[in-house]
């Protein structure tokens, strides 16, 4: 079985990039439109990067690649994130 | 600024010129995957090479094996810093599969069952450098390692050796595949340590 | 109508990198240690949160893994670390780390898999597999410290009595508002009246709060454990919105 974890394991990686814990924020999948907290994504950690997939349709929501002195962040599968003001 | 952790070495290193820079030799074979394992049945398996004229060359499982399976021993290098040396594989040479493919395009997008992709220059797939592999270490490829068939391009970082291979589509430019979109190098030569953008 | 004490202000501790000094490492189970860390800058944490431990080799190579926090007070962090066979970080933390060593940690992290006292009357069902009990133990300890009146139950699946994490602390917490049911999968204590074997949907029925009582459910353990249990809970009639899981990876 492919190793998989919950999206809340992304909290550390995202905390380096966002001011507050981003995993509780609601976000929308660009493929199926499902709105859910980022913590609810299905994360595949055993890969050359963290891949977060939509729990409903498996579309890649986000990718985080740690490359030594920089981190590549993609949120290409999220059409938006709701950040409280 | 990170402090060194007393006593931590990471996976054991082994020096030698068999290893590209930044790589460590391992004896087991880690499974890395960006998504769920697709369920690919050899009964319905279909491998296709598509050229710029929309001509498609198809092989079902029996036809693929009939092209001719050869034994090879290669080293593989994963961008996550592990390398496996002298690994026995069996596969069908891409040189044979490309024999009747007429193309002027220089790049290929490898496409997998399950949606994974990897872009590779065509010249990296010719001249005895690439196979459609069906066995590794003396046994049929398990699903978690890409079975029943995966692309095998050992001279590039192993993310290019797309698991659960479905087809190769010719392209005029070097468009990024799955990992290349997310930060990994378009080419991926381990000897030049081409890991990231 | 009962009056309720003012709710505690919502504690939101911003995650940061901290240098932790190992105060003590001791065997917790045959394959795990309890690590007690002195972290002067640690602001305290809510129950269920985790942190990342980052190890750096002399040549700069780094490996980072997440671990749930068993404690909650400022200045100190308690972890329960299970050794993953062939792992890169846990064998080091279990076998090589000594008192006096310094570790880099990032946290407190996580705002999703949390339980806060004083927010709800709903009963809480905790379901743990092996080391998955760590964040759930933190919840039970916080529940007791706050004298929160909501009913708490823990179903704890574990190989043998020697594999129980925080055994004495859990025993001390057990009482009128906190019930613990152990599921021994390989070997039970000598005076055990029940069966020995893996957790099943049927044993879940016997040990967990029924769906009609609408418990909030926290499941933590290996990915295989968490997914099996979550699937059974849905079959038993619990709502997906009431079930939060934390998968530790692996089968």
* Chain C interface, best mutation among B1, B3, B6, B14, by max C CB count within 10 A: B6
The average pLDDT across C144-150 equals: 95
CB proximity under 8 Å: C 36-75 to A: 50-52, 64, 66
C249 falls in which pLDDT band (50, 70, 90)?
confident
Instruction: Give chain A positions within 8 Å (CB) of C248.
Output: 5
Q: What does the pLDDT look like over C204-218, one tens digit per residue? A: 999 999 999 999 999
* Chain B interface, best mutation among C61, C92, C98, by max B CB count within 10 A: C61
Residue B183 within a domain: yes
Residue B120 pLDDT exceeds 80: yes
Instruction: Return the pLDDT at C8.
Output: 42
Residue C135 pLDDT exceeds 80: yes
The average pLDDT across A25-30 equals: 92
CB-based contact B43:B61 (threshold 8 Å):
yes
Instruction: Return the pLDDT at C153.
Output: 98
How close is the nearest chain B Cα to the Cα of A50, in Å?
8
B vs C: CB pairs below 8 A? 41
CB proximity under 8 Å: B 42-81 to A: 78-80
Distance (Å) of CA B58 to CA B63, B67, B127, B128, B169: 9, 12, 21, 21, 12
Q: Can you name the residues that pair with C32 across neighbouring β-strands?
A: C29, C82
Residue B18 within a domain: no
How close is the nearest chain B Cα to the Cα of C219, in Å?
22
Instruction: Return the pLDDT at C5.
Output: 43
Percentage of the residues of chain B whose pLDDT score is greater than 70: 96
Please answer yes or no on whether C109 and A6 come within 8 Å at the CB atom: no
Q: What does the pLDDT look like over B124-175, one tens digit per residue? A: 999 999 999 999 999 999 999 999 999 999 999 999 999 999 999 999 999 9
Instruction: Return the pLDDT at C1.
Output: 39
Cβ of A5 under 8 Å from any chain C Cβ? yes
How close is the nearest chain A Cα to the Cα of B54, in Å?
27
Please answer yes or no on whether C247 and A11 come within 8 Å at the CB atom: no
Q: What is the DSSP string of A18-85?
A: SSS-GGGSEEEETTT--EEEGGGSEEE-SSSSEEEE-TTT--EEEEEEEETTEEEEE-TTEEEEE---
The whole-angstrom separation of Cα C7 and Cα C210 is: 28
Domain ranges of chain A: 5-82
CB-based contact A51:A59 (threshold 8 Å):
no
Residue B8 within a domain: no
Pick from B144, C48, B99: nearest CA to A1: B144
Residue B76 within a domain: yes
Instruction: Return the pLDDT at B4.
Output: 85
Domain ranges of chain C: 16-109, 124-247
Q: What does the pLDDT look like over C81-131, one tens digit per residue? A: 999 987 889 999 999 999 999 999 999 998 889 999 998 889 999 999 999
Residue B3 within a domain: no
From the CB of residue B115, how many other CB atoms can be counted at a distance below 10 Å?
A: 15
Which is it for the CA torsion C14, A5, A36, C150, positive or negative?
A: negative
Residue B72 within a domain: yes
Nearest to A3 among C223, C245, C246 (CB): C223
Nearest to C110 among A5, A21, A45 (CB): A21
Residue C176 pLDDT exceeds 50: yes
B11 falls in which pLDDT band (50, 70, 90)?
low
- What beta strand segments (E) does C57-147 contain? 62-68, 76-82, 102-109, 124-129
Q: What is the span of the domain harbouring residue B166?
A: 51-192
Instruction: Return the pLDDT at C4.
Output: 41
pTM of this structure: 0.70
Return mean pLDDT, chain C: 92
Backbone angles phi, psi at B196, to 5 degrees: -115, -175
Please answer yes or no on whether C63 and B10 come within 8 Å at the CB atom: yes
CB proximity under 8 Å: B 100-139 to A: none
How close is the nearest chain A Cα to the Cα of C52, in Å?
7
Class of domain C16-109: mainly beta
Instruction: Return the pLDDT at C88.
Output: 85
Instruction: Return the pLDDT at B145.
Output: 96
Which is it for the CA torsion C125, C130, C132, C133, positive or negative?
A: positive
Which SS3 state, helix, strand or coil, does residue C67 take? Answer: strand
CATH number at residue B175: 3.90.420.10
Residue B26 within a domain: no
CATH of C124-247 among 3.40.50.2030, 3.90.25.10, 3.40.50.80, 2.30.30.30: 3.40.50.80
Nearest to A21 among C15, C223, C250 (CB): C15
Domain count, chain B: 1
Instruction: Return the pLDDT at B28.
Output: 87
Residue B34 within a domain: no
Please answer yes or no on whether B4 and C57 come within 8 Å at the CB atom: yes
How close is the nearest chain B Cα to the Cα of A63, in Å?
6
Q: What does the pLDDT look like over A61-72, one tens digit per residue? A: 999 998 877 889
Residue A1 pLDDT exceeds 90: no
Instruction: Give chain B positions within 8 Å (CB) of C104.
Output: 2-3, 5
Q: Can you name the residues that pair with B93 across neighbouring β-strands?
A: B131
Instruction: Return the pLDDT at A25.
Output: 87
- What was the ipTM of the complex prediction? 0.77
Instruction: Return the pLDDT at B173.
Output: 96
Q: What does the pLDDT look like over B36-51, one tens digit per residue? A: 999 999 999 999 999 9
Instruction: Return the pLDDT at C12.
Output: 60
């Amino acid at each position: 079985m492919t190793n998989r974890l919950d999206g809340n394991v992304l909290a550390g990686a995202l905390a380096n990039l966002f001011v507050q814990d981003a995993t509780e924020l609601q976000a929308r999948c660009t493929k199926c439109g499902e709105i859910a907290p980022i913590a609810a994504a299905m994360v595949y950690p055993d890969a050359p990067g963290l891949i977060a997939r939509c729990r409903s349709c498996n579309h890649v929501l986000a990718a985080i690649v740690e490359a030594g002195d920089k981190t590549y962040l993609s949120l290409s599968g999220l059409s938006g994130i709701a950040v409280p003001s | 600024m990170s402090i060194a952790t007393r006593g931590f070495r990471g996976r054991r290193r082994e020096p030698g010129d068999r290893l590209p820079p930044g790589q460590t030799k391992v004896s087991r074979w880690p499974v890395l995957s960006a998504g769920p394992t697709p369920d690919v049945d050899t009964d319905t398996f279909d491998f296709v090479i598509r050229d710029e004229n929309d001509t498609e060359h198809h092989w079902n499982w029996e036809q693929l094996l009939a092209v001719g399976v050869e034994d090879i021993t290669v080293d593989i290098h994963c961008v996550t810093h592990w390398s496996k040396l002298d690994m026995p594989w069996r596969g069908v040479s891409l040189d044979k599969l490309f024999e009747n493919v007429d193309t002027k395009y220089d790049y290929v997008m490898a496409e997998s069952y399950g949606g994974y992709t990897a872009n590779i220059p065509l010249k990296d797939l010719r001249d005895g450098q690439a196979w459609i592999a069906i066995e590794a270490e003396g046994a049929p490829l398990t699903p978690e390692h890409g079975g029943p068939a995966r692309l095998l391009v050992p001279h590039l970082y192993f993310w290019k050796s797309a698991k659960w291979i479905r087809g190769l589509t010719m392209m005029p430019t070097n468009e990024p595949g799955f990992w290349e979109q997310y930060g990994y190098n378009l080419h991926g030569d381990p000897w030049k340590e081409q890991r990231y953008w | 109508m009962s009056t309720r004490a003012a709710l505690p202000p919502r504690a939101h501790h911003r995650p940061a990198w901290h240098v932790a000094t190992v105060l003590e490492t001791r065997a917790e189970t045959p394959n795990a240690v309890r690590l007690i860390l002195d972290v002067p800058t640690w602001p305290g944490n809510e129950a269920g949160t985790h942190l990342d431990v980052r190890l750096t080799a002399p040549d700069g190579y780094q490996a980072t893994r997440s671990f749930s926090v068993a404690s909650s007070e400022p200045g100190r962090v308690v972890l329960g670390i299970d050794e993953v066979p062939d792992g890169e970080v846990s064998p080091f933390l279990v076998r090589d780390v000594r008192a006096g060593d310094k570790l880099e940690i990032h946290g407190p992290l996580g705002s999703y898999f949390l339980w806060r006292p004083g927010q709800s009357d709903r009963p809480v069902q905790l379901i743990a597999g092996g080391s998955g009990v760590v964040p759930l133990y933190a919840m039970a300890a916080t529940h007791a410290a706050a004298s929160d009146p909501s009913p708490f139950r823990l179903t704890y699946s574990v190989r043998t009595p020697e594999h129980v994490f925080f055994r004495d602390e859990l025993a001390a917490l057990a009482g009128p508002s906190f019930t613990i049911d152990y599921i021994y999968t390989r070997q039970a204590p000598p005076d055990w009246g029940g069966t020995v074997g893996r957790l099943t949907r049927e044993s879940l029925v016997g040990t967990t709060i029924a769906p009609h009582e609408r418990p909030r459910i926290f499941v933590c353990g290996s990915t295989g454990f968490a997914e099996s249990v979550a699937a059974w809970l849905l079959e038993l009639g619990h709502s997906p919105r009431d079930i939060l899981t934390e998968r530790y990876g692996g089968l």
